[in-house]
Amino acid sequence: MLTRADLAKYPFLNEATDYVKSLGLSIEDIRPEEYGPVLDRAEKRLEEALSKGRITANIADENTEILSFPVSNLILSLTGEERAKRRYALAEAKRAYELLKQESPDKLELIASSAFQWKLRRTNMQFGRRLYDFSIGLTDYLRNAIHLKEPRWKLSNRVLDHGFVLATRDEIARLLEEEVRSKVLDRASRPTASVNVPPFLGQRIEHVRNLTVKYLGTPVHYELPRVPVPEAMPPCVRNLISLLDSGKNVQHMGRFTLAAFLVNIGAEQEEIIRVFKPASDFSERMTRYQVEHIAGQRGGRTKYTCPMCTTLKTHGVCYKPDEICATIRNPLSYYKTQARTLTRGKKAVN
Ligand code: SF4
């Protein structure tokens, strides 16, 4: 059975939604005089997600923790900030993972089957040094593992048992994290029924909008980075910038390609970091470290070049190749060819 403490830990569960519904509260009822701590916690959830990408598990006051979750979702959906929604969903999912990995196998099984209808079985099998506590249905596994980058999640690296994938307790918690991210994002993205927003909530919505700009930057709407000839960028690179700008997930190969491309065409380091800023999991420290590494300012001091088009095709990074793509083998060659043509054209006009 799920307890009130469980609902405070996992307020995205249907049982938590039912509990909130049973209180029969409307938006006007959540007044600061009575529900100040709930409003504060809801805003804090969003502030932590936007500023640090993490949300603390503050479960001492169970009622406040349960109620603040739908209020956070409401504030977020009223801001209309897609980038903030993705960042928030990821932060809630990470919070859940930290708690889930401490749960007993029974509790994990209950959450996976009741909240997400997973096909999950208890096992006790050992292969090599690994002890597997669970086997998970293939569809449930693939739906979530597809977002995970490490090689260990590839199906070819897994042990299969009659259509089920063996998994450890921690792996089940990690796969649940992905499921929670999708669920929270779906919930925060649901259109809000037209409501008269009370003034006390209006101020909080405005505050979250300001925080979004503070931590995620001003929406750039696909503004190209300031590089010598921005119009000369190939379709794959433009697409990567566009995906990041809309807060969508870009896999490792895409991120590496973008950073290596920008480093090699002479973009400023700050400019490269700005391009990555809208990513839902953006960390300035990590991005700076990786860009410096690619630029050869760290580690073995090797400056990396951009991967070849054939490699990018294999990894699904190539995007709508055009007629220039047919004449080159690397996005950097595309840029050089196009920059030459464009600059020549400008000189001719001048
Ligand atoms: S062919 Fe090369 S340059 Fe063109 S879109 Fe594909 S990966 Fe990019």
Domain boundaries, the chain: 4-95+192-216, 105-181, 230-349
The DSSP symbol for 119 reads -
pLDDT one-digit tens code per residue, 204-238: 988 998 888 788 766 554 455 566 677 788 999 99
pTM, entire model: 0.66
At residue 89 the predicted structure's pLDDT band, cuts being 50, 70 and 90, is: very high
> Is the distance from CB of 247 to CB of 145 less than 8 angstroms?
no
> Is the distance from CB of 204 to CB of 39 less than 8 angstroms?
yes
Please identify, by atom number, the ligand 1 atom nearest to the C-alpha of residue 322.
Answer: 4
The DSSP symbol for 320 reads S
Query: Looking up tokens 């992905």, which residue turns up?
Result: 178
Between the CA of 338 and the centroid of ligand 1 the distance, in Å, is 13
Q: What is the mean pLDDT of residues 100-106?
A: 93
Between the CA of 252 and the centroid of ligand 1 the distance, in Å, is 17
Share of the chain above pLDDT 70, in %: 92
pLDDT value for 344: 62
Between the CA of 326 and the centroid of ligand 1 the distance, in Å, is 9
With a 6 Å cutoff on the Cβ, whether 235 touches ligand 1 is yes
Please identify, by atom number, the ligand 1 atom nearest to the C-alpha of residue 234.
Answer: 3
Between the CA of 237 and the centroid of ligand 1 the distance, in Å, is 8
Q: Across the chain, where does the E strand assignment appear? A: 120-127, 130-137, 160-161, 164-167
Q: What is the mean pLDDT of residues 40-51?
A: 94
The partner residues of 131 in beta bridges, in order of sequence, read 126
pLDDT at 85 over 60: yes
Please identify, by atom number, the ligand 1 atom nearest to the C-alpha of residue 334.
Answer: 3
Between the CA of 4 and the centroid of ligand 1 the distance, in Å, is 53
pLDDT at 100 over 90: yes
pLDDT value for 350: 35
pLDDT value for 345: 46
Of 83, 115, 106, 104, the closest CA to residue 18 belongs to 115
Token output for 271: 């400019």
pLDDT at 168 over 90: yes
Q: Name the residue of 334, 336, 337 whose CB sits within 8 Å of the most ligand 1 atoms, as the mutation to test its pocket.
A: 334
> Is the distance from CB of 46 to CB of 69 less than 8 angstroms?
no
Please identify, by atom number, the ligand 1 atom nearest to the C-alpha of residue 320.
Answer: 5
With a 6 Å cutoff on the Cβ, whether 334 touches ligand 1 is yes
- H runs (alpha helix) in 101-251: 105-116, 138-145, 169-189, 199-216, 235-245
Phi, psi of 164 (to 5 degrees): -115, 150
- CA–CA separation, 203 vs 319, rounded Å? 42
The count of C-alpha atoms lying within 13 angstroms of the C-alpha of 108, restricted to the half-sphere facing its C-beta, is 27
pLDDT value for 219: 56
Token output for 292: 């410096």
